[in-house]
């Protein structure tokens, strides 16, 4: 008996006869160069280098070459080598004359909106001394030499 239940081979009926839609897109010719995709959220800005102004000579320079003087929240005037301390800051360049001016004129006091008191003067003077040159280091007397 013939098996009538045998599934008839599937003829590639409609698929082959269906006219394919004409592809109007440009044909791919080999691997395409990757297209640089602009990332969203990236705004093109000119590179911003933070500039600071020396309060004495008004010279603008990149932040790093200027020394920050900070008035701490409790009113102290301190040198802030890190530039990150809290408080109102003012900047002086590395010229000793500018530190001299900060000591003798109200430029720094004005910039910090405070008075430069004796303690602050000492702080500035100490830094000024280190700028004007290495402090004269007294030769260390070695007491052990005495033991002859």
Q: Give residues with Cβ within 8 angstroms of 137, minimum separation 6.
A: none
Q: With contacts defined by CB under 5 A, how many residues of the chain interact with Zn ion?
A: 6
Query: Is residue 54 close enough to count as binding Zn ion by CB under 5 A?
Result: yes
Residue 67, SS3? strand
Q: Based on the shown chain and the rule CB under 5 A, indicate whether residue 90 belongs to the binding site for Zn ion.
A: no
* Best CA proximity match to 96, nearest among 121, 128, 135, 126: 128
Task: State yes or no: residue 108 binds Zn ion (CB under 5 A).
Answer: no
Least spacing, CB of residue 55 vs Zn ion, in Å: 8
User: What backbone phi and psi angles, to 5 degrees, belong to 99?
Assistant: -70, -35
Would you count residue 56 as binding Zn ion (CB under 5 A)?
Answer: yes
Question: Does residue 124 bind Zn ion (CB under 5 A)?
Answer: no
On whether the CB atoms of residues 91 and 126 are closer than 8 A, the answer is no
Say what the alpha-carbon torsion angle 121, 126, 128, 134 is, to the nearest 10 degrees: 170
- Binding span for Zn ion by CB under 5 A among 2-10, 55-63, 70-78, 108-116: 55-63
Of positions 69, 93, 107, 116, contacts Zn ion by CB under 5 A? 93
Select the residue interacting with Zn ion from 77, 90, 98, 116 (CB under 5 A). 98
Query: Footprint of Zn ion on this chain (CB under 5 A)?
Result: 54, 56-57, 93, 95, 98
């Amino acid at each position: 008996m013939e098996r009538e239940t045998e599934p008839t081979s599937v003829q590639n009926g409609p698929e082959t006869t269906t006219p394919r839609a004409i592809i109007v897109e440009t044909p791919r010719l080999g691997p395409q160069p990757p297209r640089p995709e602009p990332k969203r959220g990236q705004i093109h800005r000119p590179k911003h280098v933070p500039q600071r102004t020396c309060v004495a000579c008004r010279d603008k320079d990149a932040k790093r070459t200027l020394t920050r003087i900070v008035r701490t929240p409790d009113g102290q005037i301190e040198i802030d080598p890190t530039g990150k301390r809290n408080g109102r800051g003012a900047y002086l360049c590395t010229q000793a004359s500018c530190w001299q001016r900060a000591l003798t004129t109200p430029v720094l006091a004005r910039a910090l909106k405070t008075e430069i008191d004796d303690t602050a003067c000492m702080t500035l003077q100490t830094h000024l001394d280190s700028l004007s040159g290495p402090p004269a280091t007294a030769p260390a007397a070695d007491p052990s030499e005495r033991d002859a």
